[in-house]
Amino acid sequence: MSRSERLLELLQILRRHRHPVSGQDLAAELDISLRTLYRDIASLQAQGAVIEGEAGVGYVLRAGFTLPPLMFSQEEIEALVLGSRWVTTRHDTQLAQAARNALAKIAAVLPAALRDDLEASTLLVGPSARKEHPVPVDPDILGQIRLAIRQQSRLELHYADAEGQVSQRIIWPFGLGFFDQVQVVLGWCELRQDFRHFRTDRIQSLTILEGRYSRSRQSLLKDWRKAQNITREF
């Protein structure tokens, strides 16, 4: 790859890590020498990238340095289009509109050739293999759940189980899983003192409670993955 492509790839690698990454690991992933890596980091720093760290300690990219969308590769554009099209097939009208808006913003600043690639993408979202239709959910409920997750707010639910029995729960929501037919809230249940999953179509009502729950959603998600023996992204 060219040096400019390598610099972009180095930035992307650093963006994936919140904690310092050793120079050896960065050089190995880019298939370059440590000496070349140090020169590349110096070049990026000269261009305004706030890369902190040093040899023997590791490097981390601080927030604030952005690249223009014109640097997207064709594969990255295809991934954005495919993901956006998948979101628009879900029963979350707010996210569907947000996905369309995001693609429109990206298209507006792309060079003509890449904009044509975006608009002419032939990657399509197929129908579900299952015969059941998606269960409709009030978009306001989905919006409130996503807001509570972002704010790390406790949620009070009136929730019906598979037999229709309604119970009151207070949960710490930290994730929302989208499946073909349903959406599932991942939460720590104060009543059960354990992780529980709640189908959004069975939520009778919900209230966002004041204050934040005591743990971070990232920590809860990490422990949930361990409890479910999940080693990949959910």
pLDDT in tens, 72-127: 777 888 888 888 888 887 767 888 888 888 888 777 777 777 777 777 777 777 76
| Separation CA 73–CA 86 (nearest Å) | 20
Amino acid at 84: S
**What average pLDDT does the chain have?**
84
pLDDT at residue number 171 = 97
Q: pLDDT tens across 32-52, in order?
A: 999 999 999 998 888 788 888
Percentages helix, strand, coil for the chain (3-state, rounded to 5) are 45, 25, 30
pLDDT at residue number 234 = 46
- Portion of the chain with pLDDT greater than 90, in percent: 38
What is the pLDDT averaged over residues 8-32? 88
Beta bridge partners of 176: 185
Q: Indicate the helix (H) or strand (E) that contains 221.
A: helix 217-228
Confidence class of residue 15 from pLDDT cuts 50, 70 and 90?
A: confident
More confident residue, 18 or 25: 25
pTM: 0.63
pLDDT value at 70 more than 60:
no
